Amino acid sequence: LSNRLRAALQSPDGAGLSAVADATARDARDRFDALAAIYALHRAPLVQIGDAVWFQHHPAISELKARLEADWIAELDALPVPHDNADVSTSLKSLAARDRLPDLYRWVADEATWDEVREFLALEGGPDADFDDLVATCQIGIDGVPKVEMARNYWDEIGNGEPTEVHTTLYRRMAAAVGIRAVPADQQPLSALTRGLLGGLLSTNRSLQPEMIGALGLIELQAGPRCRLVLQAFDRCGAPQDAYPFYRVHAEVDPRHGMDWVANVVEPICDAHPDWGQRILRGAAWRAGTNAEFFRDVSELLIDRRRAA
């Protein structure tokens, strides 16, 4: 499916697009590879996708996208959701606390060799890859205090207006210093891809705005302590100075971002729309579930490999 889709997107007249509308994916990887190509039409820099962008809303693309996403959402909903009768913000915070410091991060902090740290960081992709665009999309149609909080978060994300402090710039600086090379999609665990694509699902469906608010909140609530463990790994391994700023800024500001997101986005929105509460938790559970699968797979890859060696 994904190869046929990519070929059709490259043809000038979109020949072959209609044929993929009802094609089935060979397996999960094929499905997510097809979704990656579709999300790129919505979110990737124009210079990367070229003329294929004209097919963003082609009926065949819309049909295929909706079908593939319906299957994926059914799987995401099969992940356990927290049901602890508390209010939404308490439930969200306790979900975030549950797996805030995965064993994998502790291993990175305490035991991984420098090469293993680099391998881990290449797969992790930073605590908040493309978060700036996600927040920008998430605030569409929101107003009042939540809008202001999202704007404040976005402003932090883009370095408070200081070009050298923009988080994606800091990430590139870190990646260059550490010598991280992008791992081709077909060499990543499937869960690393789905974790990255969750932002595509959430940000290309207005209907999932409550879920997106929950997922972004969970990212903020969990990132700080994880980044501190990466910094410990840097200290232990003697990482170059340019590796530090990206993880340092997230270790410092994300705990505040998380609490502010709960207080200024989740709570006022739930006051205004009580029916959004369960859906905010649903989105947070989606993110927690995709994280858990990713951590399990990367642990198998790195820690089990070490034990076997």
Least distance to Fe ion, CB of residue 231, Å = 15
Residue span binding Fe ion (CB under 5 A) among the ranges 112-120, 238-246, 257-265, 295-303: 257-265
Q: Does 149 bind Fe ion (CB under 5 A)?
A: no
Binding map of Fe ion across residues 16-55, x = CB under 5 A, - = no contact: ----------------------------------------
Residue among 31 and 93 whose Cβ is closer to Fe ion: 93
Residue among 40 and 135 whose Cβ is closer to Fe ion: 135
Residue among 52 and 135 whose Cβ is closer to Fe ion: 135
CB contact set of 3 (below 8 Å; sequence gap of 6+):
none
Residue among 216 and 280 whose Cβ is closer to Fe ion: 216
Alpha helices in the chain (DSSP H): 2-10, 17-20, 28-43, 46-49, 59-77, 88-98, 103-110, 114-124, 131-138, 144-157, 167-178, 190-203, 209-237, 244-261, 267-272, 277-299, 305-308
Of the residues 31, 167, 228, 279, which one makes contact with Fe ion according to CB under 5 A: 167
Distance from C-alpha of 213 to C-alpha of 281, rounded to nearest angstrom = 9
* Lookup result for tokens 């996208």: 65
Distance from C-alpha of 91 to C-alpha of 262, rounded to nearest angstrom = 11
Of the residues 119, 124, 130, 254, which one makes contact with Fe ion according to CB under 5 A: 254
Q: Does 257 bind Fe ion (CB under 5 A)?
A: yes
Q: According to CB under 5 A, which residues from 193 to 232 bind Fe ion?
A: 220
Least distance to Fe ion, CB of residue 212, Å = 15
Residue among 2 and 146 whose Cβ is closer to Fe ion: 146
Cβ atoms within 10 A of the Cβ of 98, count? 11
Distance from C-alpha of 190 to C-alpha of 180, rounded to nearest angstrom = 20
Cβ atoms within 10 A of the Cβ of 163, count? 8
Q: Are 260 and 149 in contact (CB under 8 A)?
A: yes
Q: Does 128 bind Fe ion (CB under 5 A)?
A: yes
Distance from C-alpha of 59 to C-alpha of 22, rounded to nearest angstrom = 11
Least distance to Fe ion, CB of residue 117, Å = 20
Residue among 49 and 219 whose Cβ is closer to Fe ion: 219
Least distance to Fe ion, CB of residue 153, Å = 6
Binding residues (CB under 5 A) for Fe ion: these are 128, 157, 167, 220, 254, 257
